[in-house]
Structure 1
């Protein structure tokens, strides 16, 4: 059965996350329903990672086995047609070998979190950024972020509902960049690792925002990490500023599309 990789963009607000759920809308179920309009034999699609309710994606990756060969462009167009008006789009389709697996072939995931500081309410980007009212100390947040880099037991920054076998992960990058924003400042968190624990990125951002406000110091971040205790974590930030921005593979399946 021909296998295709799908690059997917979605607005997470209407969904209970990526994973198919009984009686709740999900991104996975939306795409699968559209695919079955084209090929009723399709069972399921497999994604690089499961995003939570309200989390967005600019480049989620999934794979699907079809019963016949499709022109990649036509497959993407057909799936997009059948998903309307849901805020989900297939932005890339590539034929891949049977050995390609969206989840297990991935070498790393890249998330971006957008936090905007301004007094006026967010209007045009409501539901797409987390807003705070006062500017933050980005240098202090970066110093706190640097304390989290490397291989650690991240129990403190792991949801109690996390199903991962181990709390140990290697954080490769956590950088904070200031970006001009209308009447305010956007703090863009660039977070990269091979894989993440449940709520790990949102736990990082919520904790670092506390550092940026001056309520914590970078040393408090180190102490929280060493505590290996969920109760030592700062507040978990809302999901709607978080984006799955890139999934890395040994060879980019979309490089030729």
Structure 2
């Protein structure tokens, strides 16, 4: 899909009396209803807005690169806020807010940007990672942070599925019913499974996916489906047929939120520019 077809809105100019502050945020998603502000539960963005108000006595709107659902974690969520305050240096927001925020939300860095940056609308790629451990290897430190499974399925079979996801596809099969996006097509730049180890040396089955954007619960549906199908020895050809069917009923189970992390956001137009060239061939 050409980037010109992403249909993003034009950026509004930054008001002359405002500064734009960019921040990278990590958070423990199990403790919140998601990133986006909710009417009946605490959300990560809402907590940050409250602490900014406490810090500089301004009501602000914190705009994230995208939403994460309830229970989903983030290592590299990116957001911005427009403020009138001129006294606080941009780099001071990270340490100052971390003194006010709960320990399960951390500002990793803060910097000043101009109006050409928008946390959501200038995003070039989003990377998610999912983590599984076997039940026998779970430690007291893994609860709500790693998904568990009795046994790992065949890694080669998992990667045969993952490879098929690369490219531009209609992901209707793996989209939850609550999604309201008019188009289900998404560009996937990276998709692979790997066996890694945690800090204690225990095996960790990881899935990495990077694309221009994702549909509602799409990543969790893909992960859960691939794990279920691999356990059942579903062939790669069958998986390709399920993807192409655009039939939600043919998807497998949806993986739990606790193993999913918003891992990294890219704003570099050159990083995946090769994909644009492939799409033109």
* Same topology, TM > 0.5: yes
Given that 1:202 and 1:238 are in contact with CA atoms closer than 8 Å, whether structure 2 keeps it comes out as: yes
How far did residue 191 of structure 1 move?
A: 0.5
TM-score if structure 1 supplies the norm length?
Answer: 0.92
Match of 2:99 in 1: 81
How far did residue 94 of structure 1 move?
A: 0.8
* In the alignment, structure 1 residue 233 sits paired with structure 2 residue 251: yes
For 1:184 and 1:127, locate their aligned partners in 2 and report how far apart those are by CA, in whole Å: 17
Match of 2:124 in 1: 107
Match of 1:49 in 2: 66
SS in 2 for 1:119: helix
How far did residue 216 of structure 1 move?
A: 2.5
Match of 2:142 in 1: 125
* Cα distance change, pair 184–220 in 1 and its aligned pair in 2 (3 A): farther
SS in 1 for 2:129: strand
* In the alignment, structure 1 residue 222 sits paired with structure 2 residue 236: no
Structure 1 spans left out of the alignment, 5+ residues:
253-257
**Which of 184, 188, 200 is the aligned partner of 1:167?**
184
How far did residue 82 of structure 1 move?
A: 1.8
Given that 1:158 and 1:230 are in contact with CA atoms closer than 8 Å, whether structure 2 keeps it comes out as: yes
Given that 2:52 and 2:58 are in contact with CA atoms closer than 8 Å, whether structure 1 keeps it comes out as: no
For 1:60 and 1:233, locate their aligned partners in 2 and report how far apart those are by CA, in whole Å: 28
How far did residue 121 of structure 1 move?
A: 4.3
SS in 2 for 1:147: helix
For 1:63 and 1:174, locate their aligned partners in 2 and report how far apart those are by CA, in whole Å: 28
For these two proteins, the number of residue pairs brought into alignment is 251
For 1:101 and 1:13, locate their aligned partners in 2 and report how far apart those are by CA, in whole Å: 27
**Which of 192, 200, 207 is the aligned partner of 1:189?**
207
Over aligned residue pairs, what C-alpha RMSD do you find? Answer: 1.8
* In the alignment, structure 1 residue 145 sits paired with structure 2 residue 162: yes
Match of 1:255 in 2: none
Higher helix share: 2
TM-superposition CA deviations, 1:228-247 (whole Å, max 9, x none): 01111110000111111110
SS in 2 for 1:124: coil
**Which of 85, 104, 114 is the aligned partner of 1:68?**
85
**Which of 19, 43, 47 is the aligned partner of 1:2?**
19
Given that 1:7 and 1:90 are in contact with CA atoms closer than 8 Å, whether structure 2 keeps it comes out as: yes
Question: Could you tell which deviates more after superposition, 216-225 or 203-212?
Answer: 216-225
Given that 1:8 and 1:60 are in contact with CA atoms closer than 8 Å, whether structure 2 keeps it comes out as: yes
